[in-house]
């Protein structure tokens, strides 16, 4: 669950940090275009957050976690190679993937941790998720400044590698 959160943080930081550079320098568009693609992420993330719990009712929510992280990683991986209209659609999928990758974690804590322990577990989960973002932002900055035009590709590769690692750990636990 925590590695899936790391996948989400790596991909999410790529979106937040490198989208503006891609819109302005890569696609030569304006702030208005940047606003629309960021709105696409937020809109679909919000919609997915409402339906995430009803999509995967399994005990582990493994399918939602994996599908969400996979959608997110693949979406950012191909973004450098598409035009603006396709990017809008991809960012809708990115929002969906982000919610599917993150929402089950909260549900799993609520369903599987005794009430008297939930505060500690939620606190630990919160701390780790923010640690992942603290690591992910510099990685996004590095890929954006050192690999312009391929920053999303490399962020996606990192995300996919972490997802593979998470799946190895999931397999060991089952």
Residue-range domains of the chain with CATH: 2-173 (1.20.1250.20)
The residues, any chain, with a CB within 8 Å of residue 41's CB and separated by 6 or more, are 15, 91, 92, 94, 95, 98
What band does 174 get if pLDDT is binned at 50, 70 and 90? low
Mean pLDDT of 15-34: 95
pLDDT at 71: 95
**How far apart are the C-alpha atoms of 62 and 65, rounded to whole Å?**
5
DSSP state of 56: -
Does the structure show a pLDDT above 70 at 173?
no
**How far apart are the C-alpha atoms of 168 and 162, rounded to whole Å?**
10
How many CA atoms within 13 Å lie on the side-chain side of 138?
Answer: 4
Task: Give 118-127 contacts, CB < 8 A, sequence gap 24+.
Answer: 125/2, 125/5
Mean pLDDT of 5-23: 95
* pTM for the full predicted model: 0.88
The residues, any chain, with a CB within 8 Å of residue 44's CB and separated by 6 or more, are 91, 92, 93, 94, 95, 96, 99
What band does 54 get if pLDDT is binned at 50, 70 and 90? low
């Amino acid at each position: 669950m925590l590695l899936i959160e790391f996948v989400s943080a790596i991909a999410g930081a790529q979106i937040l940090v490198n989208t503006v550079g891609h819109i302005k320098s890569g696609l030569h568009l304006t702030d208005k275009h940047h606003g629309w693609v960021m709105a696409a992420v937020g809109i679909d993330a919000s919609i997915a957050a409402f339906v995430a719990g009803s999509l995967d009712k399994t005990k582990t929510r493994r399918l939602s976690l994996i599908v969400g992280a996979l959608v997110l990683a693949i979406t950012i991986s191909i973004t450098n190679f598409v035009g603006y209209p396709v990017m809008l659609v991809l960012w809708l999928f990115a929002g969906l993937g982000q919610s599917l990758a993150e929402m089950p974690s909260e549900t799993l804590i609520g369903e599987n941790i005794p009430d008297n322990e939930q505060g500690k577990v939620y606190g630990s989960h919160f701390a780790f998720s923010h640690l992942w973002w603290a690591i992910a932002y510099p990685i996004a900055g590095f890929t954006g400044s050192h690999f312009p035009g391929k920053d999303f590709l490399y962020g996606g590769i990192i995300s996919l590698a972490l997802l593979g690692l998470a799946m190895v750990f999931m397999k060991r636990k089952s």
